[in-house]
């Protein structure tokens, strides 16, 4: 199982301020996130069209999603909190993914839950925040990929992504940015090229992968 971390981050890897996103009004960026995290790999879609991708998040990230938008539709939502019992659901007792998230007490427990599912019932697995969950994911060998929306405009942040990936400088050892063609191929669509702008905020879509060495 591979983990793909999805994050929007400023040039200095800021991802949040006072418990929310520092920027607003990036509707096209949010639509990109929704499409990418919903889209099944073609090999699974052909055989198991009822399968779903999984999105793993911490409780604070879950709470930050407006109630009318959660759980994130068309995806298996898994929420992590140390306060949850172990486990809150038997691995065979699948909740209604359109109503209930799966609740687990650790990232490793989330992975174990997904591995217990019938083969082919889960597509891609995304980690979508917050900072502590990202940090835990980066410690695992399953973390293979970063989908980053690089925010080029300046915002004041008090929460940061725990890995610094910047073009040509201070790059995290073992990680490299992939060409746009590889990004397009992996997400399954032609991603807008270069710097985009919405609501006076500039950003760019990138994909980074961990070396297999």
Cβ-based neighbours of 140, under 8 Å, separated by 6 or more: 3, 107, 108, 111
Quickly list H helices, the chain.
Answer: 27-38, 42-47, 59-64, 107-115, 131-138, 180-187
Q: Is 140 a catalytic residue?
A: no
Q: Is the dihedral of CA 45, 50, 54, 55 positive or negative?
A: positive
Neighbours of 29 (CB within 10 A): 20
From 3, 5, 26, 29, the catalytic residue:
29
Quickly list H helices, 48-130.
Answer: 59-64, 107-115
From 21, 198, 204, 209, the catalytic residue:
21
In angstroms, the CA 209 to CA 192 distance is: 19
> Which residues are the active-site residues?
21, 29
């Amino acid at each position: 199982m591979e983990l793909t971390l999805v994050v929007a981050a400023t040039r200095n890897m800021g991802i949040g301020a006072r418990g929310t996103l520092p920027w607003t009004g990036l509707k096209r960026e949010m639509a990109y996130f929704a499409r990418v995290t919903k889209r099944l790999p073609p090999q699974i879609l052909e055989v198991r069209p009822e399968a779903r991708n999984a999105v793993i998040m911490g409780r604070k990230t879950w709470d930050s999603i407006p109630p009318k938008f959660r759980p994130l539709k068309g995806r298996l939502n898994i929420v992590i909190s140390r306060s949850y019992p172990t486990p809150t659901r038997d691995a065979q007792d699948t909740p209604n993914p359109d109503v209930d998230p799966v609740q687990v007490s650790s990232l490793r427990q989330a992975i174990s839950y997904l591995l217990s599912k019938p083969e082919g019932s889960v597509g891609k697995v995304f980690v979508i925040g917050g900072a502590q969950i990202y940090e835990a994911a980066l410690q695992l060998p399953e973390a293979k990929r970063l989908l980053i929306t690089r925010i080029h405009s300046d915002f004041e942040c008090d929460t940061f992504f725990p890995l610094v990936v910047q073009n040509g400088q201070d790059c995290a050892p073992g990680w490299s940015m992939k060409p746009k063609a590889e990004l397009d191929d992996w997400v399954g669509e032609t991603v807008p090229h270069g710097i985009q702008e919405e609501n006076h905020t500039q950003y760019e879509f990138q994909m980074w992968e961990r070396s297999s060495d």
